[in-house]
Amino acid sequence: MFGPLSNSPIAKTTSPQVVIPFYAYAALSFLAATILLFFSDQSFTGHYFHPHILAITHLMALGWATMIIFGASHQLVPVLIESDLYSDKLAHVSFALAGLGIPLLVYGFFAFNMGWPAQLGGSLVLGAILAFIANIAISISRSKRENVHAVFVFTSTVWLLLTVSLGLALLFNFTSSVLTRNSLYYISLHAHLGVVGWFLLLVLGVGSRLIPMFLISKYSNPRLLWVVFLLVNVALITFSLLFLFHPGTNLHYIPAILVAIALLLFAHYNRQAYKQRIRRKVDDQMKVSLLAVALLLVPSIVLLVLLCALLLTTGERADLVLLYGFTIFFGWLTAIILGMTFKTLPFIVWNKVYRHRAALGKMPSPKDLFNHRVYKVMALLYLAGFVLFACGILLPSPVLLKVGSLALLATACLYTWNVMLLVNHKPFRK
């Protein structure tokens, strides 16, 4: 049996005081997003360009997924490059700027007020991203060790910068003529730069390191990961060029197919890691994380169906667009976060609370720091909520949307409760 510090590189770098606030903020953002979803569920029966849907999407993308990725990256990047994080102060700056900017931006979308609240919020978020990128880039440049996982992470931050820069231009374009066309026209480009360039590329890079590590698997195939890296980036560049210079083309299925191939290769990578694992018993957190790998394919399938529908019909198929976005933010992104939170945060909290007490006697294991029964109930509610809400979008069914959103709200409540249990953990008394 291994201790938290012996075989877990997660516990050995970056101050917990830097990382933990990101996790707490993300949990509260997930809770807030599901509350908005519950009270705005009927918005998902109409057009995707709805103020409440925009607010929920950006709260999920920035407050939920990006904040927890920022926190985890400050801990994991030093592990990947085997060197210290460049600056804790820059990490605190990125947290403060994003923490202030995200609520302003979400409020602007919810009220559909694209004036100073949204523009100031977007500017603060951009500042947070610049601080984050500077920290990661300098950390990587100071390291003597390079690997494919670090390249995934750094490249994804470049796409994040492009995504947020375009998003901020779209905000100002509502009140001033910043771009040549209206903001709605660029939504697809903005969304896919973020989803594929930032989220997907980073999840593939970090997941290909974490999943074998937590399975205690001996499998490694950097060459396959380089192929995945190239496929995703070629797909992004191809999509961007087609969008900007050939907007009326029917060739958008090409980047979609490239991404689908990359996902199949990534799924194969994780299947091999699973087959060659040393630890035969797989815990609940890893089951949810492996489920997230399968859910990676769902948005790709929906996208291909959407492209076919657009080619064969004249309608816009808003239901498929909504389903596509929902399966991304409430599907594979949320699933992998629900799984990986309770594989990483317990080690971080253990490191904070027990690192200097390990010599005093028997210490609890990191897995003992959160409630596993609550976690199992949360996972079941999540699966039920995801399936019901997705079906509610397709049918459409107000009843399924309401019941599904209620299950997702309950999921967020249990998730937040367990995270706060971890964050506020005190040393066990003898």
The pLDDT > 70 percentage for the chain reads 88
- How confident is the model over 121-133, as a mean pLDDT? 97
The model carries a pTM of: 0.89
> How far apart (Å, rounded) are the C-alpha atoms in residues 188 and 204?
22
The pLDDT assigned to 4 comes to 38
Q: What pLDDT band is residue 36 in, cutting at 50, 70 and 90?
A: very high
pLDDT at 2 over 50: no
pLDDT at 294: 66
> Could you tell me which residue, 207 or 169, shows the higher pLDDT?
169
Inter-residue contact 364 to 351 (CB < 8 Å):
no
Residue 16 has pLDDT above 90, yes or no: no
For the segment 106-111, the average pLDDT, to the nearest whole number, is 95
- Tell me: pLDDT of 285 over 80: no
Is residue 212 reached through a cis peptide bond, with omega within 30 degrees of 0 on the bond before it?
Answer: no
Q: CA angle, corner 416, sides to 412 and 418, nearest 5? A: 120
pLDDT exceeds 90 at position 416: yes
Query: What pLDDT score does 215 carry?
Result: 83
The more confident residue out of 25 and 350 is 25
Instruction: Dump pLDDT digits (tens) for 223-280.
Output: 999 999 999 999 999 999 999 898 877 777 789 889 889 988 998 998 999 899 887 7
Instruction: Over range 17-43, report the average pLDDT.
Output: 96
- Own/partner contacts of 217-220, CB < 8 Å, gap of 24 or more, are 217/273, 217/274, 217/276, 217/277, 217/278, 218/276, 218/278, 219/269, 219/272, 219/273, 219/275, 219/276
380 pLDDT exceeds 90?
Answer: yes
Q: What value does the mean pLDDT take over residues 311-317?
A: 59
Q: How confident is the model at residue 413 (pLDDT cuts 50, 70, 90)?
A: very high
In this model, does residue 79 exceed pLDDT 70?
yes
Read off the tokens for 238: 């191809």
Q: Given this model, what pLDDT does residue 279 score? A: 72
Question: Which domains, ranges and CATH numbers included, belong to the chain?
Answer: 9-423 (1.20.210.10)
Q: Rounded mean pLDDT of 48-71?
A: 94
